[in-house]
A and B are shown apart, each in its own frame.
Chain A
């Protein structure tokens, strides 16, 4: 039986992690103001239901999922992306050039769910399980995405001596 959470924990999470939520939300919405609205609305949704939160999962992963959904809801229609994982997604990496900018380009070219996995790992410091919970995917998918990110980086560095 998991424990419940309270408003205080949620407020602490909000105050400590506001910047990270805002940055990731901005990556989803493509608009700073919409991102801010998404974070505020996401936490408002979480606040309304936090007392009923009963899970062994981390509170933070639960809130990330809500905020990510809020950001997707807030996104203008033309920004809607295909979120299903295409079978060849790691190939997208090899089609980019190998510079540091190429690595960024590779991340940008990833399907959204995988790109978010990278962001949640490296911008929000979430562990694999929390990322999987936040994105509604298997832990193995998260692991594969992050492994591919490492591989891509390694190739970037081999191709462009620094």
Chain B
């Protein structure tokens, strides 16, 4: 039995190779649409004039002041990259200089547009915008504020928007932290609006506010709001009075202020049609240079990270027995118009990537930030032919999805929660895309050359959600506070168990970190598996969650002495005797049930 359709498809694939060197260029289509109204003009001739003409044509077609129902024409200024007014030469130069300092910036010549100018609390703010490829970006600058807020939305989100405005960032802090007041200096919320929008209403924890609307954008700046104050809803109001609520996700405050995950259905394929294993990246194995050279300064930074990683591996007793040599370093920019790049390092103890101890290191670069690590090339695809990493921030309304695809993959597709799909470009085995946080649940599918599904990953949310009911979060209160002899503190806060979830936080002070969240309760898992040692100000604590059947925990020091601590409502928080610890002390823990039966025991290393 054969799959005739599949075979014909294969033959057709062979007959119709994709012409190389041509990329989708919608802007060129728009230019041609306008140019064709005149006698035919060859492409590239008078491009600037044609662009301007196209702009005028589309703006003329825009129903200014029309009903709030969205059409693309309403957002046309953004779609052709010309909202607001041109930035001044000085502003443009400042943007270019900042861009050039980035390791993965926007293309030279990206034209900045000035959208909004306003003054809040004595600080002058300017909101700029620009379109770079498929990214529609907003850049907020405040006088005397060193940091700049930059957030982008993908053009496809604007195209499918069913509201007259898009929130791009909510409650982005900007300014030096005002520690005395306990708040950030300014909390900024901004986005894109269509032509018909007259007013943007902000509904925040501290009341209703009105945003500044100009240049096809809106900007709301809260001046020194009380800590934790958040924007909760935003309405757009048209010139004719029609009102539309904008979909957006509030920026979480702390670890409990998380929205419920979306309840929608997953779309797209539900099963893998061909199982692929042992994926690889051929060009990397062959040390074939793809992409571009890595800038020297960036390479130096990565080498430092590689050295740290090698030291860490040595400490852990793993890694290669021989030192790794960097055989090749390449920078990939799948979307040259975007600020995202990937540096790939081929490293091996020999001169070949076929060495079993060879490693591939991936560093994702966004502007001037970099993050990543190394592992064996084939481990990258141990779980499947694509690797997936998600990145975002609370204020940003978009999550970046990026990863590597093995040679088996020709296409990656996103299936959004509203049933729409996004085709993701894969180049040199790297892919990336942005999706709105409100577009979840999300399914990511990878296809082989025959169009078969070879990888499927489903995500209910981007991670900034919690299924815990609101009452579980609201009931959090302090249960215990310990102060060590050196002033280091351990504070336990927890709420009621509601709907099978409990919200809790263990924080170590001063400013020594915290852990917790809203987790399924009672705790299931290894009896002493969630107990760890924490050090602050020279004081050492044992702390963590315990299953319900644990009544007490015994701690045995190397000198044979023991201490026993009862549990506190499912938690252990215990101050260790510093005098019985040396640089690396292994203590023994034993868990008992209320009848003093031993449930479990384990050793734990405490580093002083």
Contacts of A16 in B (CB 8 A): 421, 423
**What residue of chain A has the Cβ atom nearest to residue B16's Cβ?**
A23
B246 CB to closest chain A CB, in angstroms?
Answer: 18
A60 CB to closest chain B CB, in angstroms?
Answer: 14
Question: Which chain A residues (11-54) contact chain B, with CB distance < 8 Å?
Answer: 11-12, 14-16, 18-19, 22-24, 26-27, 32, 35-37, 40-41, 43-45, 47-48, 51
Interface residues on B, range: 35 or more
* CB–CB A149/B19 < 8 A: no
* CB–CB B19/A122 < 8 A: no
Task: Scan A98-118; emit 1 where CB is below 8 A from any B CB, else 0.
Answer: 001001100110000000001
Binds B, one of A82-90, A127-135, A150-158: A150-158
* CB–CB B159/A23 < 8 A: no
B14 CB to closest chain A CB, in angstroms?
Answer: 6
Q: How far is the CA of A7 from the CA of B58 in the complex (A)?
A: 10
Question: Which chain A residues (117-162) contact chain B, with CB distance < 8 Å?
Answer: 118-119, 122-123, 149-150, 153-154, 157
Choose among B5, B18, B33, B36 the residue with the greatest number of A CB atoms under 10 Å from its CB: B33
Q: How far is the CA of A103 from the CA of B156 in the complex (A)?
A: 39
* CB–CB B28/A40 < 8 A: yes
B13 CB-CB contact with A under 8 Å: yes
A6 CB-CB contact with B under 8 Å: yes
A8 CB-CB contact with B under 8 Å: yes
* CB–CB A8/B72 < 8 A: yes
A19 CB to closest chain B CB, in angstroms?
Answer: 6
B30 CB-CB contact with A under 8 Å: yes
- B2, B16, B20, B35: the one within 8 Å of A119 (CB): B16
Choose among A8, A19, A26, A150 the residue with the greatest number of B CB atoms under 10 Å from its CB: A8
Q: How far is the CA of A153 from the CA of B11 in the complex (A)?
A: 10
* CB–CB B19/A35 < 8 A: yes
| Chain A residues bordering chain B, tally (CB within 8 A) | 41
Contacts of A157 in B (CB 8 A): 2, 7
With known contacts A26-B19, A40-B32, A103-B11, A154–B4 Cβ distance under 8 A: yes
- B19, B21, B23, B36: the one within 8 Å of A23 (CB): B19
Contacts of B37 in A (CB 8 A): 48
Q: How far is the CA of A82 from the CA of B311 in the complex (A)?
A: 71
Contacts of A44 in B (CB 8 A): 29-30, 32-33, 35-36
* CB–CB B26/A122 < 8 A: no
B121 CB-CB contact with A under 8 Å: no
Contacts of A24 in B (CB 8 A): 16
- 11 A-B residue pairs with Cβ-Cβ distance under 8 Å, sorted by A, are A6-B73, A11-B155, A14-B24, A44-B36, A107-B11, A108-B15, A118-B12, A123-B13, A149-B8, A154-B4, A157-B2
Residues in chain B within 8 A of chain A (CB atoms): 2, 4-5, 7-9, 11-26, 28-30, 32-33, 35-37, 43, 58, 61, 71-73, 76, 79, 155-156, 159-160, 421, 423
Residues in chain A within 8 A of chain B (CB atoms): 6-8, 11-12, 14-16, 18-19, 22-24, 26-27, 32, 35-37, 40-41, 43-45, 47-48, 51, 100, 103-104, 107-108, 118-119, 122-123, 149-150, 153-154, 157
